[in-house]
Amino acid sequence: MKSRLWSKLSAVLFMVSVGSASYAELVIPSLTYRTGPYASSGIPYSDGFTDYLTLLNERDGGINGQRIEVVECEFGYNTEKGVACFEETLAKGALVYHPMSTGLTYQIIPRAHEEGVVIHTMGYGLTAAADGAMFPYTFNFPAHYWHAASAQIRHIKEVEGGSLQGKKIVHMFHNSGYGKEPIPTLEVLAQQEGFELVLQPIDHPGEDQSAIWPVVEAANPDYILLWGWGVMNEVALGGALDIGFPLDKVIGVWWSANESDIKPLGRLGDGYKAVSFHAVGTSFKIFNDMNMLVYQTGKARGDLRNLGEVLYNRGVMAAIFATEAIRLGMEIHNSTDVTRDMVRDGFEKLAMSAENFEEIGMEGFIPDVSVTCENHAGAGLVAVNQWDASARRWVEITDYYQPDEQLIAPQVRSASAAFAESSGMKRKGC
């Protein structure tokens, strides 16, 4: 990626229309769920997403002089309503989507493919969409569900001294596409590593787990993998404590590692672990600008207290990738008259280094990111964090793990072909 010199040259850019229809403003929808059992997770993410876009408008006048219009549509984590939000915002000229729901992602991938609009499911959605030759408009970098599952098992193996032979691991999961996504990878790893995999689904929304924890206690597992969302996470961690299960042997995925999940437990939450693909905290310079230009001016969508929390930062991160892909698309096509094809090209050639993140004001936030046509998932680097109850914050306790592509790549190719066949999609190639 070029430096911000591009911004300084925006006034003299040659204005042409490239590819599909272009739009007067950069329309970026925010599909939200501020209501319902997942609101505690949905709110901080969408706040961070919108606040960063507001910052660009207030500080930079948008992207290269093109202002961003954020179109919010509330769907309450209801897939049918989410599809309606997709269609409504699509008609307004939406350039890129972040559905924040695996079930919704399944539904809109064929439509996005048909309409030529980007979906970025950052760390969720259809894992098989990593196959860019099959899903040219769907991206799931910087890591996906199978990267997460692989890292969870690798960490447990390290803790156990290099062997999982004879161990019992419970996969406690939201009984939906999200929770079921890692099962194929976990089943292969169970065969390879010699551990027993126990599947324990929890039905939506996960508030009542009274019948589940006696079953888990009777199974007497060595470890629990927690793949929950919203209220399910807090209830599950409380259930583990109720049966005396040590929280340092519960390892969540990145959607089960929010402050709202663990803070209610107070000191009892100490030691809980979860995988992650980015840093947390408020030490990033970008928050100085956001405080002065968005919060202090009354333009914030979020609560100042949420700055630095996991999901707020993740929403900021999603907005960074979207806007940097749009910026790159402008550069590639030598135009600020943005089309959906230009945005897709920007996503597929996105390459962000430590220097790029430092320039944005997010130094050390995430490892280098690089996307290609063949690989829409990026490097898949995943670290493990642990909750420090006394400091009330997450602490990174491992380096970033490299994914096991010998295991994952064939699964991606097979799963992408199966999904595409069921949806009537054809491989376009690279």
Question: pLDDT per position in the chain (430 positions), as tens?
Answer: 444 434 433 333 333 333 355 556 899 999 999 998 899 999 999 999 999 999 999 999 999 999 999 999 999 999 999 999 999 999 999 999 999 999 999 999 999 999 999 999 999 999 999 999 999 999 999 999 999 999 999 999 999 999 999 999 999 999 999 999 999 999 999 999 999 999 999 999 999 999 999 999 999 999 999 999 999 999 999 999 999 999 999 999 999 999 999 999 999 999 999 999 999 888 999 999 999 999 999 999 988 888 899 999 999 999 999 999 999 999 999 999 999 999 999 999 999 999 999 999 999 999 999 999 999 999 999 999 999 999 999 999 999 999 999 999 999 999 999 999 999 999 989 8
392-411 in b/e form (b: 16+ CB < 10 A) is eebeeebebbebbeeebeeb
CA distance 53 to 71: 11
pLDDT at 303: 86
Give 382's DSSP letter.
B
Single pTM value for the model: 0.92
CA distance 206 to 37: 9
403: left (phi over 0), alpha (psi -120 to 50) or beta: beta
pLDDT at 306: 87
pLDDT at 236: 98
183-193 vs 145-159: helix crossing angle, rounded to 10:
30
